[in-house]
Amino acid sequence: MRTINADDLIIPIANKIKHALTHVNGKVLQKLKEAQSTETSPLCKWALGQIVENDEIAAHENAYACQDCGQAVLFVSAGQDLHVSGNLTAALNKAVELGYETARKSVADPLTRTNTQTNTPAIIHYDIVSGDRLEVRYMAKGAGSENMSRIYMLTPSKGINGIIESAVDCVKRAGSSPCPPVILGVGIGGTMDVAALLSKKSLVYESENKRADELELERKILEAVNRTGIGAQGFGGSVTALGVHVLTAPTHIGMLPVAITVQCHSDRKFVYTA
Amino acid sequence: MKSEIKSFTLPLTQADIKSLKCGDIISVSGTVHTARDAAHKRFAEALRKGEPLPIALESAAIYYCGPTPAAEGEIIGSCGPTTSSRMDDYAPMLIEHGLRVMIGKGKRSEAVNAAIKKHRAVYLAAIGGAGALYKHKIKSCELVAYADLGCEAVRKLYMQDVQLLVATDSDGNTCLL
């Protein structure tokens, strides 16, 4: 059996977090540049130009792309043939604490609002998979966009159109608040909690292992959302979302849960494998 | 587009405010104070009790922002706008007490837009998620009040040549969706 030491993960993951917070996901930056060139609304074109300039300054100067460095969300896949010695959860939280050492501390008790001062605890989801590897997928989740995330408990009769309408409703209600252009994670199926989890997970797995009908649904949702005319920063334009990621799971015959995680354009994430 | 951008210095005069129209992109320099959720809560409590605020509201400008800490040798960290609507419950009261310029991101409530119209104030939109860009525009930063609130403390900033969009003008017109 392969063995790794949990404490050996701390420094490499902390360094990956530091890098991610100052370097917006390259694919998203490319999409922002494309949107800047195709957008016809002058106000949105200006907004997209400011965002691109910001992301380039941040990467060049190792400055935080956004002051809201978010709550750390980690999806961990652990191979069942791997033995991790030490305390994995504690090591991951330590990595987050170190990774956010000079970042803004944005995590507080929900009732007293007392700041934990370490940006921990991180939100950690574990999956047991086959093999002997450990994979950690990170995303920074800011509040401006997360406050606009929603869940819709549809009935099965609402079907594909109901799913698309839910995404459009979510984006319309969000309007200018989540820093559009946004990226949508859409979790469909399971129970209420599973749909919400899938909506997050879809954002870190993106288009891996998708069925053809899931890819088609992603395209349809993206088109529908961009027809809302909200545009960058809600200034009224054609690019409201840069991408849509769908993940599905079987659900009860009497249910159709649809959860939508709204992610801002400041898409900061990485995949680490040990 | 850049050639059309007019420059303004804070505090804005009533004539300045009147000239600003929804959808204008302007360049702003001058002094603002940062305040977000927790500071606004304290402002409101102080006003209700008739106690003085740590900043003068007359003709003032508030920037809804909680910056990242400054790195050694730097003035401030990344400092983009936060969602303005979370301050909507407090803003009309502050406008009544003299606040004239609010800088943030995202649309405001009808009550805020009505208060803006009634008292001839203005709401300017900065770009959400552009914290590194604004970091460069801040020429000084001084802690003014509520140090215990960390990033939510009130800071006095001098900003230079920050491009902003007039999102709600003094006639109450708004251009955010």
Nearest 5 degrees, angle CA A194-CA A197-CA A200?
150
Longest dimension (CA), chain A: 60
A224 token code pair: 């529908």
The pLDDT of residue B2 is 46
| Residues A73, A152 within the same domain | no
Chain A residues near residue B65 by CB distance under 8 angstroms = 67
Other residues' Cβ atoms within 10 Å of the Cβ of residue A205: 17
CA distance B11 to A264: 32
Distance between B93 CA and the closest CA of chain A, angstroms: 22
CA distance B35 to B51: 18
The pLDDT of residue B3 is 53
For an interface test with A, the pick among B36, B63, B78 (most A C-beta atoms closer than 10 Å) comes out as B78
Mean pLDDT in runs of 10 for chain A (274 residues)? 97 98 97 97 97 97 96 98 98 98 95 94 98 98 96 98 98 96 98 98 89 96 98 97 97 98 97 97
Residue A271 lies in a domain: no
How big is the A-B interface in CB pairs under 8 Å? 138
> Does the interface predicted TM-score (ipTM) exceed 0.90?
yes
Q: Which residues contact B101 (CB under 8 A, 6 or more apart)?
A: B10, B11, B12, B17, B32, B60, B61, B62, B121, B122, B123, B124
| Residues A93, A153 within the same domain | no
3-state secondary structure of A261: strand
CA distance A239 to A227: 9
Range of the structural domain that residue B158 is part of: 22-168
Mean pLDDT in runs of 10 for chain B (177 residues)? 80 97 97 97 96 95 96 95 96 97 96 98 98 97 95 97 98 93
Domain-terminating residue out of A142, A177, A196: A142
Residue B15 lies in a domain: no
Give the DSSP H/E element, type plus range, for residue A57. helix A42-61
| Site of tokens 């069942």 | A80
Q: Which residues contact B15 (CB under 8 A, 6 or more apart)?
A: none
Given phi > 0 = left and psi -120 to 50 = alpha, else beta, which region is A105? beta
Query: Please, are residues B155 and B134 in contact by the beta-carbon 8 Å criterion?
Result: no
Residue A239 lies in a domain: yes
Range of the structural domain that residue A124 is part of: 2-32+63-142
The pLDDT of residue B1 is 47
| Residues A67, A131 within the same domain | yes
The 10s digit of each residue's pLDDT in A46-95 is 999 999 999 999 999 999 999 999 999 999 999 999 999 999 999 999 99
Predicted TM-score of the model (pTM) = 0.94
For an interface test with B, the pick among A23, A119, A233 (most B C-beta atoms closer than 10 Å) comes out as A233
**Is A265–B125 a contact, with Cβ atoms under 8 angstroms apart?**
no
One-letter amino acid of A75: F
The pLDDT of residue A115 is 92
CATH number for position B68: 3.20.130.10
Number of domains in chain A: 2
| Residues A128, A26 within the same domain | yes
3-state secondary structure of A182: strand
CA distance A131 to A242: 34
Residue A164 lies in a domain: yes
Distance between B177 CA and the closest CA of chain A, angstroms: 5
Q: Which of residues 139-178 of A touch B (CB under 8 A)?
A: 143-144, 147, 175-177
